[in-house]
Every structure is written in C-alpha cells, then in structure tokens.
Amino acid sequence: MLASRKRSTPLLLALTLIFIVTWYHSRDVDRTHEQRASSVIPANRTLGFGAVVVVSRDGSERRHSLVQAANVTDFDLTIPKQPVWTEGHVQRFINGQDDVQKGSILAWLGHHNALRWFLNSGAETALILEDDVDWDIRLRSIQIPLAASAARQLLPPPARPRSHHPFASFRSHQTQYWGDHDAWDVVYLGHCGDYFDEVTEDGPMTEHQSYNLSAIPHILYRDPTLPDRSDLHPFTQSLFGMLRMPQKSRALHRSKFPLCSFGYAITRPAAERLLSELAPPQYKVNGPRAFDVALLHACNNGSNTPSPTPPWKDPRLHPDPALRRKYPSPGLRCWTLNSELFHHMPGHSLVDEIGESSGEEPGIPPVDLAAQAQVVIRNETTNINCGFWNGAFAFQKDNMTQLHYLQEHVGRQGQCLKEGRKLPRDSIQQLID
Ligand SMILES: *[C@@H]1O[C@H](CO)[C@@H](O)[C@H](O)[C@H]1NC(C)=O
Ligand SMILES: *[C@@H]1O[C@H](CO)[C@@H](O)[C@H](O)[C@H]1NC(C)=O
Ligand SMILES: *[C@@H]1O[C@H](CO)[C@@H](O)[C@H](O)[C@H]1NC(C)=O
Ligand SMILES: *[C@@H]1O[C@H](CO)[C@@H](O)[C@H](O)[C@H]1NC(C)=O
Ligand SMILES: *[C@@H]1O[C@H](CO)[C@@H](O)[C@H](O)[C@H]1NC(C)=O
Ligand SMILES: *[C@@H]1O[C@H](CO)[C@@H](O)[C@H](O)[C@H]1NC(C)=O
C-alpha cells in the first residue's frame, strides 16, 4: 500500500507539472491571439468579406452613382443580374393573401437573388447592399477597419482550428477578418436605426427598455469620422444620450430592433435559412410583408441565443433536432453597429417607386420624416459625415486622371473636398498608433 503510493507520487508530480506548463502555454497563445485579433488591420477590396453584393434591378437609375462611389472609395462591388420577375413569380409569392405590396415583393425577390449568388459563389461571408445607399469617404480607410477590429474582439476567431481539414489552421486566420464565422449570423452595418424598440408616428417607443449597454453584449469604440452629436439623426441623438455614449463613438451590440435591410453582413448558414425557412418567397397569413421585417423577426427570435454560442449553453435550440448542429438557434444571432456606416440616400426608395406606379401610397416613414429638415441643412445623407449623395465626387466616364485624383485625395486621404468643407487631412496612421 505504502510502497505503491510512494511510487505514484513522482508520477503525479510530473503530470501536474506537464499540466501547468501546458496551461501556461495555452494561456499565452490565447493572449497573443487576442492582441492580434483586436489590432486594426486595413480592409481589402471587398471590405474583409468574401464579396460585397448589390441588390439592384436592371436599368436602375441609382446604379451608376453607386458604382462611381465604390470606385472612388476603391472597393469592388458585385451586382448579380436579376431575372425578369414575371406576374407568375409575384402571384406565387402573394399566395392568395391580402395586403399586397408589390414593390416590397420585388425587393424581397431581389434580396433572394443576391443571397443565392452569394451561396453559389462559395464565399464564407458577404455584405449585401441595396443600391440606394450612401457612405462616408473614410469607409474603407478608417470605418471598416475599426468596426472589424471590434467584431474580432467580440467574436474572436478560433485560436486552434476546429476542423480536421489539413489547411484549416492556415486558412482560419486569413479569412476571419470579421471574427469567427460560426459565432454570428448577421451584422447590420447599414440600417434606418436600431432604437431598441418599435418606431411609431410619435418616434421610438422607450418605455419598455432600460437603455443600459452594460446589460447587453457590446463593445464601444472611438470613431473620429462619426458626425458630431448634433448632426446625428434626432432619434440617434436621443438614443445615444440615453445610453450615455461618449462623443464620436460607435457601439457594436447585439441587435435589439434593427430597421431596414440596406446593408447587412451575412454568413452562409444564415443565408441558407433566410431563403428556405426564415424569409421564404411566399406571404403567410399575418406574416411579414417586407424582407426587412422578416429579417427583423428572425433576429428577434435569435436574440436569446448567445453569440458566440457555446454548444452546452443553448437556451433555445433549433426546433429541428437534425439541424441543431448546423443552426444553433430558432432565429438568427444578429449584431448592430450603432450608428450605422450605410444609410439610404434621401428621396424615394425603389420600393416606393414600384409601389407608386402600381397605385400604392408611399407615405414617408417616421424615421425619414424626423430627419427631413436636417438633411436639407446638412446637405448630407442621414448619419453620414461626408458622403456621395448629390453627385459630390462624381467623375466623367473614362476620365482616369479625375478618378485617380479622387481615389487618392478623397478615398485614401479622406479629404472632404466639398464647398466649405475642407477638413484637415485625417491621418490614418495616427489613428492606428
Ligand atoms: C468601378 O467599379 C466597378 C464595380 O466594382 C468595376 O466593375 C469597375 O471596373 C470600376 N471602374 C473603374 C474605372 O475602376
Ligand atoms: C478580403 O478578405 C476576405 C477575408 O479575409 C476574403 O475572403 C476575400 O477573398 C478578400 N477579398 C479580396 C478581394 O482579396
Ligand atoms: C446597467 O446594467 C449593469 C449590469 O446589468 C448594472 O450593474 C448597472 O447597475 C446598470 N446601470 C444602470 C444605470 O441601470
Ligand atoms: C420563432 O421561432 C418559433 C420556434 O421556436 C417559431 O414557431 C416561430 O414561427 C418563429 N417566429 C419567427 C417570426 O420566425
Ligand atoms: C449640396 O451638395 C452638392 C454636392 O456637394 C452641391 O452640388 C449642392 O450645391 C449642395 N446644395 C446646397 C443647397 O448646398
Ligand atoms: C478629366 O478631368 C480633369 C479634372 O476634372 C479635367 O481637367 C480634364 O480636362 C478631364 N479630361 C478629359 C479628357 O475630359
């Protein structure tokens, strides 16, 4: 008895030592990994996604200025061709239901077309944009690198590869610019506002929410390119006041009530589910009548699932046991960047125009109505500091001299070359240091 215990003591000691050394080592690995994950890394030509995909119908008037804005900002867009949607497509969508909104149906089909293109492309992530969005000239140089760094801090890419694929460890660090793809479903980079609750004619409802960022997963970071507080949308101003956000900062937080779908990042499993299960191309009784509402509902349904999702901690599992390994939650795990990087340009949307031509009353949504006066005074798109609206920074077709000038001074150096707006050059290096 005694003898055997004596013999096992050195063994136990050795094992303990090995354990401690391994533990320290793995801790160090995690720490250096974290540091790498949180540093600011320049954005590539697809803004760190597999592709930037635009929902745009053939012959859309907005396409030309959108493409020019991307050319000056110096990133690549993919605009998948949309099929000609026939009356048959539309009737199948309507499915005998009432409260038909034809403009919304065509927009919904357009989003599906973009999501299908993304899945066929084999890319891991995509940023889906509607073709009437505007953004700041510092989108690629400053805003995207900061936002992606925040995403990597919240959703760190796995330190060790999970898959047994021989190239997995090589690939995972190269391709996880926006954090671990398994840990999130949707990131709203463009929206009409996430005011934490519904917006009515009287503005955002505030009585049911606590407006305490510490109560929800989030990260707060400084972004010098954000408009001054008094230049933000009135609803954004009051939200940021209630959240006690410091000036010139954005928060990346779990989505509460994100409105509109004109700029969202998405992963493959989420795109698959929107096409088949969460936003299928067919009206349901009392179901949503617009794609952005279906997306919002899916986010609401996933809001209790942690992101990232540890396998042992799912509070609400996907209803189909066979799909649980692939899709952890009954809804989507959504994040909102507040304030947004993309906002739709002032004026009628595509949905309104199609609606109008088929006799529907567009009516101005409360969020747009509340910003109308400010848009005229600022001569800028809502919540955008120095944007492309109104043809600022348009260039003559094939005038490469002009384009290269704009790419260098506006796109790369971030100079807002507008009447009365010459800002001191924003030093990107200074920001990273
Ligand atoms: C402008 O951007 C579009 C879309 O990314 C691209 O196809 C086109 O080649 C670009 N034009 C120039 C002059 O760079
Ligand atoms: C940009 O980075 C993402 C993530 O690393 C990658 O998937 C994508 O292919 C890159 N785009 C280009 C144009 O290199
Ligand atoms: C905000 O929430 C945190 C954590 O839930 C709590 O500790 C804190 O007291 C709250 N602050 C306010 C002002 O309610
Ligand atoms: C939310 O999930 C439940 C299943 O857990 C489902 O019955 C319901 O239809 C979902 N709602 C939406 C809006 O997707
Ligand atoms: C608004 O901006 C555009 C583009 O910079 C400019 O052409 C236009 O004159 C401005 N309008 C007003 C009212 O300042
Ligand atoms: C190209 O644009 C520049 C600057 O706007 C202008 O000076 C030049 O005349 C243009 N070149 C052509 C060929 O139109």
The model's pLDDT over 382-409, given as tens digits with 9 standing for 90+, comes to 999 999 998 999 999 999 999 999 999 9
Question: What distance in Å separates the CA atoms of residue 355 and residue 104, rounded to the nearest whole number?
Answer: 8
Q: Which pLDDT value is given to residue 426? A: 47
Q: Which of 390, 406, 418 to mutate for ligand 5's pocket (most ligand atoms within 8 Å of CB)? A: 390
What is the average per-residue pLDDT within 413-430?
Answer: 70
Q: Which pLDDT value is given to residue 319? A: 80
- Residue nearest to ligand 4 atom 1, measured at CA: 301
SS3 334: strand
Rounded (10°) angle between helices 102-121 and 291-301:
60
What is the average per-residue pLDDT within 347-363?
Answer: 61
Distance 194 CA to ligand 5 centre (A): 29
SS3 127: strand
Q: Which pLDDT value is given to residue 433? A: 39
Q: Point out the ligand 2 atom lying closest to the alpha carbon of residue 49.
A: 3
Q: Which pLDDT value is given to residue 225? A: 97
- Could you state, in order of their start, the residue ranges of all structural domains in the chain? 52-157+182-309+319-394
- Tokens 């003898």 belong to residue: 3
Q: Which pLDDT value is given to residue 420? A: 81
pLDDT digits (tens, 9 = 90+) for 148-207: 999 999 999 887 555 555 444 444 455 699 999 999 999 999 999 999 999 999 999 998
Distance 308 CA to ligand 4 centre (A): 21
Distance 76 CA to ligand 1 centre (A): 7
What is the average per-residue pLDDT within 281-301?
Answer: 96
Q: Are strands 52-55 and 125-130 parallel, antiparallel or unpaired?
A: parallel
The answer, yes or no, to whether any atom of ligand 1 lies below 6 A from the CB of 70, is yes
What is the average per-residue pLDDT within 365-393?
Answer: 94
- Average pLDDT over the chain reads 86
281 neighbors 289 (Cβ within 8 angstroms): no
Q: Point out the ligand 5 atom lying closest to the alpha carbon of residue 418.
A: 5
Please tell me which residue, 312 or 412, carries the higher pLDDT value. 412
Distance 50 CA to ligand 2 centre (A): 5
427: confidence class by pLDDT, cuts 50, 70, 90:
very low
Distance 3 CA to ligand 2 centre (A): 63
127 neighbors 143 (Cβ within 8 angstroms): no
pLDDT digits (tens, 9 = 90+) for 272-281: 999 999 999 9
Q: State both tokens at 202.
A: 């009287």
328: pLDDT strictly greater than 90 = no
What is the average per-residue pLDDT within 230-245?
Answer: 97
As for ligand 2, residues whose beta carbon falls within 6 Å of it are: 44-46, 48, 50, 174-175, 177
- Residue nearest to ligand 3 atom 11, measured at CA: 212
Largest CA distance in the chain: 94
What is the average per-residue pLDDT within 419-424?
Answer: 70
pTM above 0.85, yes or no: yes
27: pLDDT strictly greater than 50 = no
- Tokens 């840990």 belong to residue: 183
